[in-house]
Amino acid sequence: MLDIKIKTVPEASVRAEQSGDWWYDQKRQGRITVSVVGDTFCTESELAIAIHELVEAFLCRRDGVTEQEVVDFDTLYESERKQGRHHKDEEPGDDPRSPYRLQHAAAIHVERAVCLALDLMWKEHELALSATAGARPKRESLGPHLPGLAPGHPLGSSPEDQPCNH
Ligand SMILES: [Zn+2]
């Protein structure tokens, strides 16, 4: 059974300086709650992030990656970032040590597809994310995380040629 709740929240409610967050509600038999930083100037961006988080949460649960493992690693990563060990544009989900690296990579595929479907330029998407927090990673490193796509596949390139009218 799927039980999914998606909502936008103030930035302070999202953990580990991410654009989105997810967790399981054990009291509700594993409901997946996805929260997304609101107040971007592009609601399409919020939807793209929400679907990223949803896919990541679903895959983590399916693959046995616990929410606690994810939170612990994100916390470690952000403490390392404060020590200057990670660039501001890097994301914990991309780190080779990340317990949810594969799930994050799959979610990136989907996020890019959502942007493409919503006529949202990738640069506009990045801008919407960075506009909600100066310190948040700009996610400019998304490009290389598309293994397995044939050359020329529309998801293998940024949908930057398409307008964002929102
Ligand atoms: Zn992710």
**Residue 50 Cα to ligand 1 middle (Å):** 10
From the list 99, 104, 88, the residue with the least C-alpha distance to 136 is: 88
**Residue 114 Cα to ligand 1 middle (Å):** 14
**Residue 46 Cα to ligand 1 middle (Å):** 14
Task: Report d(CA 32, CA 163) in Å as an integer.
Answer: 32
Give me the sign of the Cα torsion angle 149, 141, 54, 161.
negative
pLDDT of residue 1: 72
Per-residue pLDDT of the chain (166 residues; tens, 9 = 90+): 788 888 887 776 666 567 788 887 767 666 788 887 776 667 888 889 889 999 999 999 899 999 899 999 999 999 999 999 998 878 899 999 999 999 999 999 999 999 999 999 888 888 777 765 543 443 433 333 333 333 444 444 444 434 444 4
Domain of 15, in residue numbers: 4-156
**Residue 115 Cα to ligand 1 middle (Å):** 15
Name the domain count of the chain.
1
**Residue 132 Cα to ligand 1 middle (Å):** 17
Buried b (16+ CB within 10 A) or exposed e, 74-101: beebeeebeeeebeeebbbbbbeebbbb
**Residue 102 Cα to ligand 1 middle (Å):** 9
With beta carbons less than 8 A apart as the criterion, state whether 130 and 138 touch.
Answer: yes
Residue 163 inside a domain? The answer is no
